[in-house]
Amino acid sequence: MIDRTRLVNHFLELVRINSLSGREREVAISLRKELEGLGAEVAIDDAGEKVGGNVGNVIAYLRGNVSAPSILLCAHMDTVAPGEGVKPIVEGDLIRSDGRTILGGDGKSGIAIICEVVRVLKERNLPHGDIEVIFTICEEMGLLGAKHLDVSRLKSRFGLVLDSGELPHLITKAPAADRMEFRVYGLEAHAGVCPERGINAIKVAGEAIAGMRLGRIDPETTANIGIIQGGLATNIIPNFVTVKGEARSHDEAKLDAQTTHMRRCFQEAAARYHLTLDQKVYEARVVEEVWRDYPRMDVPEGSRIVRLVLQAAERLGLKIKPALTGGGCDANIFNGKGMEVVNLGTGMREIHTVKEHLEIAEMLHSAEVLLEVLKLNAEVGGNLFREGQADERVEDRTVQADP
């Protein structure tokens, strides 16, 4: 029932529209028109104003034609750089850019899939419950659109984000993450004339970082220092440096321990640096900002949405397994707000690079699974979970996702 040609053509149209994070207005207006043409009630919220962007999240409501639980469908509109002037090239079953930019399949493949599925539902008058479509902004900047979405406006308590790679994986588990910014203050001095009168902020930061556990901490936990900014010239002892990093874990106690460790490394490094000049004591110091960037995602295999996806795939003769990832997505935010939302693959490969490409067959299969999920949700209504119904367990597999 999915129209492959139409699905691909809409995707190609979408990736040609520039929509870097914070500048999604043109694609948002296009999608509002598209969804209104499919009979949806569409609004754009004020998330853009809150994050300094030029448009908010697109929120669409499609009334069902049968009694069934409302379901949320979500993808993000923004893309990373270099993402302007995308020229998609179709080569057989693969879509890529011309090599100068990313493709934008992350996350416009999800948008194209959602729109195509809604078209099929409407064209064929297929049974479905209420559907709420959310196209978010600024996902690539830290899930900001989802963070500023007022979920009290939503009827749905479960749903799907379409924002991962290989279709055989249904992401049900993702880590919580902490972001950290350390501002290290030293004392400036001439590096050639009187270096002993300075405290080198870069050296303090370097010692802190050298003492840290970074990379793969354990099977559930990672940590990274990703940005260092500071210094004015090679002949000046630097009095200031900024260091930014993160930690992630599927275990929140481990995450807290890793974050505490990284903070302590900076505090202890700064405490080792002090000097007295003209009877005045100068000390290195650290000002830190640490915050929980997004919560952990851990959706049980017995949840309605997971069972819907697995049963839909089985009907289609496809194999999909629950998986865990080390990355985060909008689904983390929805789960943190009390919903049960998982992340379905769309066929993306090598995202965030100019080698990004999309497997058309997987995008098509993803659309077929989503359509079957909506049909099955309508078919079973509120009776998917009968008391005593078996819950087959499937071993988790780890896959890659962003951010």
DSSP 213-240: --EEEETTEEEEEEEEEE-S-TTEE--E
Burial tier of 31 (Cβ tally within 10 Å: 0-12, 13-18, 19+): buried
C-alpha–C-alpha distance, residues 154 and 167, integer Å: 27
> How many whole angstroms separate alpha carbon 49 and alpha carbon 63?
28
* Residue among 24, 45, 116, 139 flagged as catalytic: 139
Say whether 78 is catalytic: yes
90 — phi, psi (to 5°)? Answer: -95, 120
Distance CA 113, CA 73 (A): 10
Under 8 Å between Cβ of 75 and 345: no
Q: In whole angstroms, what is the distance from residue 126 CA to residue 122 CA? A: 7
Q: Which helix (H) or strand (E) holds 348?
A: strand 348-349
Q: Strand (E) positions, 84-220?
A: 89-91, 94-96, 131-136, 158-164, 169-174, 176-185, 189-190, 215-218
Q: What is the Cα 209 distance to its own chain's centre?
A: 27
User: Catalytic annotation on 3?
Assistant: no
- The residue from 24, 34, 78, 246 that is catalytic is 78
Active-site positions read 78, 139
